[in-house]
Each structure stands twice: as structure tokens, then as C-alpha cells.
Amino acid sequence: MKFFGVDAALVLPYDPRSDRVLLVEQFRTGPARRGAANPWTLEPVAGIVDPGETPEEAGLREAREEAGLVLDRLIPIFDGYPSPGSNTDFFHCFLALAELPREESWRGGLAEEDEDLRLHAVSFDRAMALVGRGEIEVLPLQAMLYWLAHHRVSLRDAAPPSGA
């Protein structure tokens, strides 16, 4: 049996000045069908690449639609197959440097797409603690956070000071 998937753009917004990342929390049927105690997963901003759209364009659009973030550009992190043994999905993963809102949590998503998203701007250290405790189970987000762990110091050093 073959499963055909889609190309998707995944974006991890990161504020190097405050050292915070944006996590998207939403209900997912996969964990619910497996009987997960909490079927609300923490993920990066993500969405399908529409026909005629580049992965970068899709990532910028999804950041605007899901989180209200208007971004100038995306930094490519990596691309790859999340589950090559069972489908053809291909993920284009990006980091976005962004000034995240001061509030810690808010709602996002498009009503016309029936999105009920909870957005959380959390410290990088807290996000990594969530990975360590098994509260972030979405492998692409884990990989994106580990990429950020490797590049975080240089990104913070290159960030302009607040108000610049």
C-alpha cells in the first residue's frame, strides 16, 4: 500500500533578543487515536505548500495565518522525509528571526480553516526542558530545536540591540 503525502513548510520563529521560540499547540487526531493522555501537540508553525508556491512562500504565509507574524525572510534549516517508509511527505524546515509578542500565550489560526491554535512564546531553555520531559513529541520540532541549540549563540550575537 502506498501513501502519497505533500510538501510542507515548517517554521520555528525565534526572537534572539529575548531568547524565546514560538510553539503552536493544537489538537491532533493521530495522538488521540493512539489514546494519548494529551492529544494537544506542540509543533512549529506549519502548513502545506500550495501548487505554484515555493516552500519559503508557504512558510511566510503560514506564519501570518497561524500566528499573525509578518516575516521578511526565512533561514533554511534542513529538508527531508519525516517517514520515508510509509509516505512521500517532504518537509522544508526554516528558522524565522522575529520579534515575538510580550504575552506568553494567545490564540491563532484561521476560522475558515477551522484552526483552533494556542500559541506560546516560551524561553528557549523551557522549550528544551519540554523536549527533555517528553512533552514535545513532534520529531521535526525536536530536530529544529536541536538545530537552534547548535546555532543559537551566533544568532544572538548577530541580533541588533533592542530598539535598533
Domain-located, residue 26: yes
pLDDT at position 163 is 59
The string of pLDDT tens digits covering residues 71-92 is 999 999 999 999 888 888 999 9
CB-count burial class (<10 Å; 0-12, 13-18, 19+) for 123 = middle
Domain-located, residue 22: yes
CATH of the domain at 36: 3.90.79.10
What domain range includes position 34? 7-158
Domain-located, residue 1: no
Instruction: Give the residue, 119 or 86, on which the prediction is more confident.
Output: 119
Residue 19 reports pLDDT greater than 80: yes
Domains in the chain, number? 1
pLDDT at position 13 is 98
Domain-located, residue 151: yes
Residue 95 reports pLDDT greater than 60: yes
Domain-located, residue 163: no
Three-state helix/strand/coil letters over 67-120? HCCCCCCCEEEEEECCCCCCCCCEEEEEEEECCCCCCCEEEECCHHHCCCEEEE
Mean pLDDT of the chain: 90
Q: pTM (2 decimals)?
A: 0.91
Give the pLDDT mean for 148-154: 97
Domain-located, residue 2: no
Domain-located, residue 54: yes
In this structure, the chain runs to a length of 164
Q: Which residues are catalytic?
A: 113
| Residues making up the binding site for Mg(2+) | 46, 62, 66, 115
pLDDT at position 130 is 97
104 pLDDT band (50/70/90 cuts)? Answer: confident
